[in-house]
Amino acid sequence: QVKLVESGGGLVQAGGSLRLSCAVSGRTFSPYFMGWFRQASGKEREFVASISWRGGNPYYADSVKGRFTISRDNAQNTMYLQMNSLKPEDTAVYYCNAKTFGDGELWGQGTQVTVSS
């Protein structure tokens, strides 16, 4: 069984930075996209960023473009989200997502990011 585990969330002041990690545990798997979604209280879950696993091509929501950077380490089966210039509107639970060839679509449990003004 393959699991995704997020870490790195916390409380930060506006303008600060956080780095989220998504680690894959279990047997080796074959993702073709991994990404981050977030859900603020009372709102729908929204796309933040994704990356093609083999090529490392990033994609970003307009709201985070220029501030967030997604990356991955294929050998370590780990994905990262470097978040800079954080704003209060970035406050949400951030979820790791993976689309795979053999294991379907996977989700992590989420990690809370809170940005104070």
Task: Please name the residue ranges forming H helices in the chain.
Answer: none
Q: Rounded to 5 degrees, what angle do the CA atoms 66, 114, 10 make?
A: 95
Provide the pLDDT for residue 20. 98
DSSP state of 2: -
- Taking residue 100's Cβ as centre, other Cβ atoms within 10 Å add up to 17
Residue 112 has what pLDDT?
A: 98
pLDDT in tens, 55-72: 999 999 999 999 999 999
Contact 105, 34 (CB under 8 A): no
pLDDT given for residue 43 in this prediction: 97
pLDDT of residue 18: 98
> Residue 51's beta-bridge partner residues?
34, 58
Structure token digits, residue 69: 């950077």
Span between the terminal Cα atoms of the chain, in Å: 41
Q: Are 5 and 22 in contact (CB under 8 A)?
A: yes
Residue ranges in the chain modelled with pLDDT below 70: none
* Cross-strand pairs, 31: 100
> Which residue from 22, 89, 32, 31 is spatially nearest to 61, judged by alpha carbons?
89
For residue 26, the model assigns a pLDDT of: 79
